[in-house]
Chain A
Amino acid sequence: DQQVKQNSPSLSVQEGRISILNCDYTNSMFDYFLWYKKYPAEGPTFLISISSIKDKNEDGRFTVFLNKSAKHLSLHIVPSQPGDSAVYFCAASEGAGGGADGLTFGKGTHLIIQP
C-alpha cells in the first residue's frame, strides 16, 4: 500500500508558466514533507521542505503548500524554466524532520518544460 502518491506520472508545461506538482499521502503520522528533483542515474537533489505546523513554504521560484486535512501537498514552480525538466519526487517522514527516520517516496512526476 503506497503511503505517498503522485498520481501524475508526467506533466508538460510551457516555459514561463506555472508548474504544479501534486502529492497525496495516507499516513497521518507523517509530519515532515520534502520535494526532490532527480535526473536519471543521479541522486535526488533537495528542493524544499515543509513541516506539518506550516501550510506554506517559499524559496525563490519554489513554493510548497500543505493541506493537512486533505493530506495533500503541492509544489509550485513559477516561472517554469527549461532546466526544471526532471523527475520530481515527493517524500514524507514521521520524525518531524528530526533525522532519525528514513523517507517514504512517491513514484515521481516527470516534468517537461516546453519552449
Chain B
Amino acid sequence: GAVVSQHPSRVICKSGTSVKIECRSLDFQATTMFWYRQFPKQSLMLMATSNEGSKATYEQGVEKDKFLINHASLTLSTLTVTSAHPEDSSFYICSARGPGLNYGYTFGSGTRLTVV
C-alpha cells in the first residue's frame, strides 16, 4: 500500500527560529500533498494544499509567509514554520493520495512541534 513518511516526529525549537518538516511519499508519486494541523483534542484542520511545481494553496486564515510550503519533487513536500512562536506549537500532519481511486488518503505519522 501507499506509504507516507514524515520527519521529524518531534521537535522542540526556540521562539523566533524556523523549523522544517518533511513529507515523503515512499512508493508512489504524489503531485498533490496536504498539510494539516491538529490542536489537542480537536479536529485535523487543513492548512494548505501542496502542488508539485507550483505554489501551494492556503486555506483561509493560514499565513502563507509563516508556513512556507515547497513541493520540489513528486515525492517530497516540506513545511517550514518561520519565526516560530509558542502559539505555533501543535501537531502537524501531511497527507497524500495513493495511486488509483480505491486508495484512501494516506497520512504521515505527524510532527509534534513545541516552541519554547
Instruction: Identify the A interface with B (CB < 8 A).
Output: 34, 36, 41-46, 49, 89, 91, 97-108
- Of the candidates A100, A102, A106, the one having the most CB atoms from chain B within 10 angstroms of its own CB is A102
Could you tell me if A103 and B93 are in contact, using CB atoms closer than 8 angstroms? no
The answer to whether B97 touches A99 (Cβ under 8 A) is yes
A103 and B43 within 8 A (CB): no
Q: Are B110 and A105 in contact (CB under 8 A)?
A: no
Q: Do A102 and B101 contact each other (CB < 8 Å), given the known contacts A41-B110, A42-B110, A43-B110? A: no
Contacting B43 at CB < 8 Å: which of A34, A99, A101, A106?
A: A106
Do the beta carbons of B105 and A103 come within 8 Å of each other? Answer: yes
Contacts of A108 in B (CB 8 A): 43
Q: How far is the CA of A59 from the CA of B6 in the complex (A)?
A: 27
CB distance from B70 to the nearest CB of A (A): 17
Q: Are B43 and A46 in contact (CB under 8 A)?
A: no
B97: which A residues are within 8 A, CB to CB?
A: 99
Is the pair B101, A97 in contact by a Cβ cutoff of 8 Å?
A: yes
Instruction: Pick the contact of B46: A34, A41, A99, A104 (CB < 8 A).
Output: A104
From A45, A97, A102, A106, give the contact of B34 (CB < 8 A): A102
Q: Cβ of B78 < 8 Å from any Cβ of A?
A: no
Q: Is the CB of A103 within 8 A of B95?
A: yes
Q: Let me know if B109 is at the binding interface, CB within 8 A.
A: yes
Once the chains bind, are A44 and B44 in contact (CB under 8 Å)? Answer: yes
A29 to B78, CA, bound (A): 30
Given A99-B97, A100-B32, A108-B43, check contact A46 B110 (CB 8 Å): no
Query: Which 3 residue pairs of A and B lie closest in terms of their CB atoms, listed nearest first?
Result: A99-B97, A46-B104, A43-B107
Does B85 make an interface contact (CB < 8 A)? no
Whether A49 and B104, one on each chain, are in contact in the complex, defined by CB atoms closer than 8 angstroms, is: yes
Known: A99-B97, A105-B44, A106-B43. A42 touches B32 (CB 8 A): no
Question: Can you pick out 19 interface pairs between chain A and chain B where the beta carbons lie within 8 Å of each other?
Answer: A41-B110, A41-B112, A43-B4, A43-B93, A44-B107, A45-B107, A46-B107, A89-B43, A89-B44, A101-B49, A102-B34, A102-B49, A102-B59, A103-B46, A103-B95, A103-B105, A104-B46, A105-B36, A107-B42
Closest to B112 in A: A41
